[in-house]
Every structure is written in C-alpha cells, then in structure tokens.
C-alpha cells in the first residue's frame, strides 16, 4: 500500500521531473532498452510521441494518487490494453519499474534519496499490480471466448 507521505513525496518529486520531461523520457527508454533489447521492436522507430505519452501518463497517475479509488479504473483499462494489444507480460513490468527508478534517480540527481526510491517503488508496485491483474483477467476472458 502507498502511504499518504509516500504519495506526497512522489508528487513533490514529480514537480521536479516535469521541467526535464524530455530528458527523463530519454533516460527511461534508454535504460528500458538496455535492460531488455527485445522490447525495442514493440515501440515505433520515432519515439517522440511515445515519450510524450509516457510523461502524460505518469503525470496523470501521480496526480491521481490523491484519489486512488478514482485512479484504479483507468489503470485497469491501461493494463488490459497493454496485455491485449501489446502482449505485455508480467516480467516486463519488473523491467519497466527498474528503468523508471533508474531514470528518476539520474534525472533528479541530488534530490533523489532512499526515501524517494521507496516511495516511487511503492507507487509503481501498487499500480503495476493493478495493471497485471487486469491484463491477466482480460487475456483469460479472451481465451475463454475463443474456446466457446
């Protein structure tokens, strides 16, 4: 679970990411493809729009931490789309989480510390779990429809 203090820490640190959004997105995708080069073909050659989508999505999620009950349905839909259309698997979420924490650490520099890492990891763990579960459910439903 994400504590109120962790949510506030993530939100306040996000304010420092916004001005460096392009750099943060570059750091994220650079690390993601370094950690798992097999993920690169899942993305377009021109990453400009994808990077923009990532930063908007992260901003939406960070803002939504004030009301997780309202955020969760959107996160579920995102998980379902990632499973259905992009064939995202559970291990990929670990790689994405590692790339995100690495990008935040590099992007935030001296203002990044263990407390920030724990807060962001807690948020990512909760949201990725929602996405994974929703994705698994949507895949299972799709398989059952095919069996009918």
53-93: per-residue pLDDT in tens?
999 999 999 999 999 999 999 999 999 999 999 999 999 99
CB 131 within 8 A of CB 10: no
Q: Is the pLDDT of residue 144 over 70?
A: no
Which are the contacts of 145, defined by CB distance < 8 A and separation ≥ 6?
none
Other CB atoms within 10 Å distance of the CB of residue 135: 24
The label of the residue with tokens 């920030």 reads 116
Q: Is the pLDDT of residue 105 over 70?
A: yes
**pLDDT tier for residue 138 given thresholds of 50, 70 and 90:** confident
At residue 146, the pLDDT reads 46
Q: Is the pLDDT of residue 115 over 70?
A: yes
| CA–CA gap between residue 96 and residue 39 (Å, rounded) | 10
Nearest CA to 67 out of 115, 131, 7 is that of 7
Local structure of 79: helix, strand or coil: helix
CB 58 within 8 A of CB 128: no
Q: Report pTM.
A: 0.92
Mean pLDDT of the chain: 93
Cα 103 to Cα 25, 34, 93, 142: the distances in Å are 8, 12, 15, 35
Torsion on CA atoms 116, 127, 2, 61, rounded to nearest 10: 70
**pLDDT tier for residue 147 given thresholds of 50, 70 and 90:** very low
**Beta strand extents in the chain (DSSP E only):** none
At residue 1, the pLDDT reads 85
**pLDDT tier for residue 141 given thresholds of 50, 70 and 90:** low
Looking at residue 43, the DSSP 8-state letter turns out to be S
């Amino acid at each position: 679970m994400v504590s109120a203090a962790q949510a506030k820490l993530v939100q306040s640190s996000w304010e420092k990411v916004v001005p460096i959004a392009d750099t943060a997105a570059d750091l994220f995708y650079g690390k993601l493809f370094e950690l798992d080069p097999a993920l690169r073909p899942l993305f377009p050659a021109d990453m400009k729009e994808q990077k923009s989508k990532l930063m908007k999505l992260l901003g939406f999620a960070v803002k939504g931490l004030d009301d997780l009950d309202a955020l969760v349905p959107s996160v579920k839909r995102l998980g379902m789309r990632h499973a259905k259309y992009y064939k995202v698997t559970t291990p990929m979420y670990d790689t994405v989480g590692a790339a995100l924490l690495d990008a935040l650490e590099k992007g935030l520099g001296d203002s990044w510390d263990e407390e920030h890492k724990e807060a962001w990891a807690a948020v990512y763990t909760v949201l990725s779990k929602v996405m994974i579960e929703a994705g698994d459910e949507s895949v299972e439903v799709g398989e059952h429809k095919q069996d009918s």
